[in-house]
Amino acid sequence: MDSALKLQHPRRNLGSRHRAQADRFVKLSKKDSERAAENLAWAEQNAQQAVLYDFTDERNWRCLAEIKKMRMDSEGLALVLEDLFIVLGRDPNQLSQIRGVNHLEVGLELLEAAFITDSLEPQTWFEKLDKKELENFVIRCRGLDFTDQRANIVYGRRLERIRGAGHEEIFIELVHHLLAHRPANHELWMELGRLHERRNEIDQAWLCYDHVQQIRPTEPVRDLFLERLKRAMDGEESVPWSGPSLQTRSDFLDRMQNLSQNVSNVPIEESAETEEVVNTELTRLESLLQAGEAAEAFFLARSLFTSGEEWAQEWMERAQSML
């Protein structure tokens, strides 16, 4: 895992340490008026680090927002709110609330309203969830943008609570939305694979484990799964299972590609008619990567490669490197 990815995984100890340091500088700014500006600048720097290291702790966001208000930084407070809403899934309705308002007057209220609706603490969020709110959550998730890795982590933890409460079908449906937007989330793929394996849904479990091994070749989870199946079948008369059919694999990849299209709709550039046959799939892949839509490009290229289009392997690897 590279340094950028490490910073997007919550590290509560470091977050708490930087928040405590920010609080100290805030207190110093109140005691020493002559150096108030300097101390608040140091406070803001530490508060930013607190959010960077642990974006799942509401206290870190609250600390940073309050310092922005103390420094009369309306634009900075707006950016804090926008970043928080990105972590919460980029709900268009929430994002619209922060435009055209006086953030110094209502910014902190918007922050608290967001936490009441979408607590970053998964257990707190789950405890407020009743049947009606669960139905609304399902509907809402289908239209959210989970391309930000932090949003994937927050919603992944919420879905784990839902699965733990016995709502496995909801978990399976919604987790595909998260994975379609962030195919590199190997931990969530593993969780889904284990669930399918426990449910004896062999094809679906294999597809999940196969995807993990594709993006993390050093973890032979697919091969270990096949070994478990072989041991389970020893002594039985059934024909050894050798993997899902090509059609099953293709359907799975097509579905993931379609789900990833919810993020954006990248048009295919039209080219002048020539005597040569235009490879629309290749054109589509080029357009997707140019637009930064690595997830959709990855699933499209992998589907083509699985179907026997060997030229697509290069594009699959190129898209995977961008995830």
pLDDT digits (tens, 9 = 90+) for 267-311: 445 444 433 434 787 888 888 888 888 778 877 887 777 777 888
In a domain, 277, yes or no: no
Q: What is the pLDDT of residue 19?
A: 96
Instruction: Tell which of 118, 152, 180 closes a domain.
Output: 118
Q: Which residue has the tokens 């139905």?
A: 135
Span 72-92, average pLDDT? 87
In the structure, what pLDDT confidence band is assigned to residue 233 with cuts at 50, 70 and 90?
A: low
Asked, for residue 238, whether it belongs to a domain, the answer is no
Verify that 149 and 253 share a domain, yes or no.
no
Asked whether the predicted pLDDT for residue 64 surpasses 70, the reply is: yes
Q: Do 184 and 80 fall within a single domain? A: no
**Residue 106 domain-assigned (yes or no):** yes
208 and 151, same domain (yes or no): yes
- pLDDT for position 5: 46
* Residues 317 and 220 both lie in one domain: no
Q: Is the pLDDT of residue 263 over 60?
A: no
- Residue 272, in any domain of the structure: no
Same domain for 44 and 135, yes or no, is no
In a domain, 192, yes or no: yes
Give the amino acid at 227. E
Cβ pair 261, 143 in contact under 8 A: no
What's the pLDDT at 73?
Answer: 95
What distance, in Å, lies between the first and last C-alpha atoms of the chain?
A: 12
**How high is the pLDDT of residue 77?**
94
Global model pTM greater than 0.85: no
Cα separation of 92 and 89, whole Å?
9
Residues 114 and 128 in one domain: no
In a domain, 14, yes or no: yes
Domain end: 118, 136, 171, which one?
118
pLDDT at 313: 83
Same domain, 98 and 163: no
Same domain for 108 and 179:
no
Structural domain count of the chain: 3
Same domain, 153 and 176: yes
Inform me whether the pLDDT recorded for 122 exceeds 60.
Answer: yes
> In sequence order, which residues have a C-beta less than 8 Å from that of residue 49 and are 6 or more positions away?
14, 18
Q: Looking at the structure, do residues 127 and 113 belong to the same domain, yes or no? A: no
Task: Establish if 22 belongs to a structural domain.
Answer: yes
Token pair 């020893």 in the structure block, residue: 234
CATH number at residue 141: 1.25.40.10
Q: In the prediction, which pLDDT does 240 show?
A: 52
Q: Classify 44 as helix, strand or coil.
A: helix
Work out the average pLDDT over 181-189: 85
Is 110 a member of any domain?
yes
Looking at the fold, whether 166 and 72 belong to one and the same domain comes out as: no
In the chain, where does DSSP find H-type helix? 3-7, 12-31, 36-53, 58-70, 74-87, 92-97, 103-117, 122-127, 131-141, 149-164, 168-181, 186-198, 202-215, 221-233, 246-260, 280-290, 294-306, 312-321
pLDDT at 80 over 90: yes
Same domain? For 20 and 107 the reply is yes
Q: Mean pLDDT over all residues of the chain?
A: 82
Q: How much is the average pLDDT of 248-259?
A: 67
What residues make up the domain containing 167? 123-230
Of residues 195 and 304, which shows the higher confidence score? 195
* Coil, helix or strand at residue 35: helix
Q: What is the pLDDT of residue 144?
A: 84
